[in-house]
Amino acid sequence: MVAVVVTIVVGVVTAVAVSSARSADRATDNRDSLREQAGPILAQVFSVDRAHWEADRARARSAIAGEFAVRYAAELTRPPAAGIAAVRWTPLVVGITDVDDAEGAVVARAEVVTRPVTGTETRDEQTVDAGFTLRDGRWLLDRLDVIG
């Protein structure tokens, strides 16, 4: 009887340990994939060139979800604002602030280059707090707050 109880306890402990190890591996994988994908996703969503804006906007819409999609999907069907030839976001730094099995958040700093139809381009930097949701192995932007 004692042997049966010990076997059951060992089995439960082993199952919990394996589950914890898998969960830790999944969290590490999610952290790594979010770190790799967050900057390019932000660039994809916020960069647009008047010469091929429809394709740029279609790519942007494919990278959004949730609250962000509800609020901004209509904006992502339009060309750049009047007088703007292109906007290019280039991620400079991406820091993970939270990640789990289904969601993640980053703080990112990007260089934003705006090229007018005529005149000189301007360069600025933006810092954003961005939320992402993991869907079918792919991170999608679902929240964004400009913080600087």
- CATH number reported for the structural domain that contains residue 103 in this entry: 3.10.450.230
Task: Tell me the C-alpha to C-alpha distance, in Å, between residue 132 and each of 123, 129, 137.
Answer: 26, 10, 12
pLDDT at 26: 67
Report the alpha-carbon distance of residue 28 to residue 43 in Å, rounded. Answer: 24
Range of the domain at 41: 1-146
User: What rounded mean pLDDT belongs to the chain?
Assistant: 89
pLDDT in tens, 76-89: 999 999 999 999 99
Q: Report, as ranges of residue numbers, the positions in the chain whose pLDDT lies below 50.
A: 12-13, 15-21
pLDDT at 28: 81
Report the alpha-carbon distance of residue 22 to residue 20 in Å, rounded. Answer: 5
* pTM of this structure: 0.81
pLDDT at 27: 76
Counting the structural domains of the chain, the total is: 1
pLDDT in tens, 16-27: 444 444 555 767
